[in-house]
Structure 1
């Protein structure tokens, strides 16, 4: 491989890392917006996808023409994402925004193990150390927290959030697989078409409040749609250019953002342990990028 090609590959890699980091930061706002919608948790997930779909349709048509028909992997991703959103929004309802986001982002452990066992993507020892440091950081952010005035049932919320990590991990793997054959916007559009009605039916069966009662609630629903397009769209785009396990570690930037926002807007406790945890999570992300670098010839554009 020529030097110019190697430079291009490294440039592509860092653009993908930047897209993942940006997407994770944007998604960090979604836990706050879920609270502000005033709807039920599953209903909030429905509005998130419903307001995202028109924009995703326009983006898909602009990038690759007619929407066509959904692929099997897009349908699977939609089912998994509906489970992810439903569990996570209920986690946000019952526990702190930081706890819900931190615990749901334990997905890199599942993703790394799955990619190692089933996809034969054997990680380096340094990469496993990076995952351990990042996950230890997010656990520190969740430990010793009083949660502020918004806790309803912390153990139940934490259980929902841990369940979210499993849904999110397999959604991550599905998106990574789908990105091998189709664009990010098309994959997200069809997964949203599948996920939205599932969440609406779940909200109706659970007797949730479906429509926001205030203009501010509607604004939060619209903002959730925009956050979904910008945040998950950037993540899906970056995932097509990085190994699955590496990408899953980068999005651990999200709980750092969510913890800071929970402290700023909802007075959720943020002490020295949480600050140390945030620093450890970021160090783990950086270490994962360093550990997952290979020689230019070994990297796939």
Structure 2
């Protein structure tokens, strides 16, 4: 697991619990030390388990592996896979489960396109303390696919490994459609939650925010249609409603959580992906361009004047 934050530990911990040989790699030294000293503590609602799994703060000295799962922040993707060169062998697969679009192209440039798989997951994770996360995986689907849509033996091997761990994984012949489905969920609320600082219980009460969200998603649907991407729905409200399904009123998108920590967001890989694909397809995306500009403005303000 290249990136062992909340989601990386959620998936990596479950794989380890299911019998897979897992290595967690993360730069947060206190987190790595806690996992190695006491195991990875995983909370599942009212229950809790401790999973023994090896953790490191870099890939230096590690041997090649069968699969690298990339779950670092989007802006760190290239540096992370460059640092993972010691793990690459002729048989190694590299798979992103990050939010947004564009990571697979970065991974392909470094590792080779023939090594890359793509995936999207609805599994969740919350970081509670170094060495301790909460995992939400029951009933949450993960879709994994080859970039060209083929059903291959190596793809089935990865899917089987996930299912063995209790992760609901499906081999997809339409992984780009699946990635766009998840992208549009993030387009619906990610930037608007970050800009307004409103958690879901308040975000969904503002009619003007809903209208902006539907407009942003409509642009994404138009871009996907122009690129012959098969979506689960072409109704913007479907993605707006899906974004909040089963989530508490206090839920905050990862983009807002990044701003609250004073970190760079993943807006370039979410709303920015709609803008880039739109520019290539000659589809106007003014709402998403505006959302990208506003989030980047907040990032710049915080980096220049401090988090407020």
TM-score normalised to structure 1 length: 0.35
Q: Structure 2-normalised TM-score? A: 0.35
More helix by share: 1
Greater relative contact order, per chain length (Cα 8 Å cut-off, separation 6+): 1
The structure where strand makes up a greater share of residues is 2
